Amino acid sequence: MSKQLLIYERVVPLSSEAHRDVSVKALDTFDFARDLNSVPLLAAEFTSAVPDHPIVFAGQGEAIFPAVLLGLQDSQNLCVDAAGAWTGGYVPAFLRRYPFVFSQDGGNFTLCVDETYPGLNREGRGERLFDTDGNRTQYLQTMLTFVQQYQAQFERTRLFCQRLVALDLLEPAQARFTTADGRAGTLNGFTTINRERLKAIPEEALKEMFATDELELCFVHLHSLQNITRLADKAPVPAAAPAAEETAPATFKSKAKAAPAPAEVE
């Protein structure tokens, strides 16, 4: 199977027949996320992520979804150090559920696992997935519950994004930043909420968004953009840093197209 969902290499459905003697040894490393400069973020995670990460929106149309920025250029994750340790504070649920994930066939969901996960083994290391009778262990049931909750929150987040699109609150944006050693750069390819449009939404929509906490999510997102500066401070210093005017712009990797005249994120 070709690589999908950013970090999953070979996803297969879990079954007591195929995985009866399989165990999962949790690995204290985030090497699997080393090349990600962003990951999806659920609406329920906004308040937990805002102390540490910039929250933006990636994609277009019905595919728009929140994401946290982890790097300033393609294949760069400034939240994973050389040893594979996570140094970015809050860990998004998208990464915490790995190596498990749901596959969807119509309205049916099947719990799957990435068979390339290094912690998967048949030597009894870590937590068993099934007992000798083929029943789910408590560990597997816990992971199933976590993935179910993730999927439920995913749907809620998708509806939140649909409202933002329907109210025309999102616009392509560009962020200018300066690294700790003085190099200038720009980050684009994402969208943000336009604060003035947000303040001008119809009263009925405002009441609905207030009642569902979606209004709070909007302002948490806007506040989080200040963390782009924090991210820039983590950028490694090259052996021979080029002059600021020679620094190539850093592009945020997403499906969104940069606008001809993007708005600046201060």
HEC per residue, the chain: CCCECCCECCEEECCCCCCCCCEECCCCCCHHHCCCCEEECCHHHHHHHCCCCCEEEECCHHHCEEEEECCCCCCCCCCECCCCCECCCCCCHHHHCCCEEEEEECCEEEEEEECCCCCEECCCCCEECECCCCCECHHHHHHHHHHHHHHHHHHHHHHHHHHHHHCCCEEEEEEEEECCCCCEEEEEEEEEECHHHHHCCCHHHHHHHHHCCHHHHHHHHHHHCCHHHHHHHCCCCCCCCCCHHHCCCEECCCCCCCCCCCEEEC
> What is the reported pLDDT for 5?
66
Domain locations along the chain:
11-236+244-255
Question: Tens-digit pLDDT profile for the chain (266 aa)?
Answer: 233 468 999 999 999 999 999 999 998 899 999 999 999 999 999 999 999 999 999 998 889 999 999 999 888 999 999 999 999 999 999 999 999 999 888 778 999 999 999 999 999 999 999 999 999 999 999 999 999 999 999 999 999 999 999 999 999 998 888 888 888 888 889 999 999 999 999 999 999 999 999 999 999 999 999 999 999 998 887 765 444 444 434 444 333 332 222 223 43
Q: Name residue, tokens 């007591």.
A: 16
User: What is the reported pLDDT for 266?
Assistant: 39
The predicted pLDDT at position 240 comes to: 56
Cβ-in-10-Å burial (0-12, 13-18, 19+) of 1 comes to exposed
pLDDT of residue 239: 62
In three-state form (DSSP H/G/I as H, E/B as E, the rest C), the secondary structure along 43-102 is: HHHHHHHCCCCCEEEECCHHHCEEEEECCCCCCCCCCECCCCCECCCCCCHHHHCCCEEE
Please report the pLDDT score of residue 183 as a whole number. Answer: 87
Against a cut of 0.75, is the pTM above it?
yes
How far the first Cα of the chain sits from its last, in Å, is 42
Query: Which tokens belong to 158?
Result: 């998708």
Residue appearing with tokens 């998967």 = 120
Residue 181: the pLDDT is: 86
